[in-house]
Amino acid sequence: MEGAERFDVMIPRDTIATRVAEMGAQITRDYADRELVLVGVLKGAVMFMADLARHIDLALRMDFLGLSSYGDATQSSGVVRITQDLSHPVGGKDVLVVEDIVDTGLTLRFLIDTLESRQPRSVKVATLLHKPANTVQQVPLDYVGFTVEDRFVVGYGLDFEQRYRNLPYVGVLRPKP
Ligand code: IMP
């Protein structure tokens, strides 16, 4: 990328595409005849959600939720607030939360508790990445793209200080020589 840091590829774009297609096929089977609403968490889940939705062969709805976590750029504090709410009620619907990465699980715990208070028919979770090394809150993950080691990753929606979301692969920042 022009004028930017260099990255090592952790998960190449083809590998992501294959896995996302598999996840979409699985979700299509699991949610047949259900009222599926994909709830994407802004902004990191945008790429994953866009690709995943195209592999789900159902008449689903898509909505987005903005969350802000207090704390520094790379560390989750667990204190989360909604910065942008859903555009439609989810009561009685089958909600599938679409996340970019689950690290400590604190953000997801907050999100699931918030959604469950709105009485949907079900709430499940699809995450592209899971970093189990830092788990603080155990949250059941129904669909996991890849389990990754404890490195700070960027690309395919994931940012470092709001940049690099547009990398077509998941990468790690290469240490400066
Ligand atoms: P958690 O609350 O610790 O599970 O953190 C979840 C959020 O932290 C994710 O939705 C990301 O926005 C951010 N995050 C955690 N790890 C990474 C990473 O390696 N790269 C980029 N963002 C991350």
Q: Where are the domains of the chain?
A: 14-151
Whole-number pLDDT of residue 156: 98
Task: Report the CATH number of the 14-151 domain.
Answer: 3.40.50.2020
- Ligand 1 binding pocket includes 127 (Cβ within 6 Å): no
Instruction: Tell me the CA–centroid distance for residue 37 and ligand 1, in Å.
Output: 23
Whole-number pLDDT of residue 70: 66
Looking at ligand 1, which atom is closest to the CA of residue 151?
19
Residue type, 173: L
Angle, alpha carbons 99-42-77 (nearest 5°): 75
Give yes or no for a contact between 97 and 125, defined as CB atoms under 8 angstroms apart.
yes
Sign of the alpha-carbon torsion through 147, 149, 155, 157: positive
Mean pLDDT by runs of 10 across the 177 residues of the chain is 75 98 98 96 96 98 90 65 95 98 94 96 98 92 97 95 95 81
| Residue 109 Cα distances to 57, 76, 93, 95, angstroms | 28, 12, 19, 15
Whole-number pLDDT of residue 74: 57
- Ligand 1 binding pocket includes 141 (Cβ within 6 Å): no
Whole-number pLDDT of residue 69: 75
Whole-number pLDDT of residue 2: 54
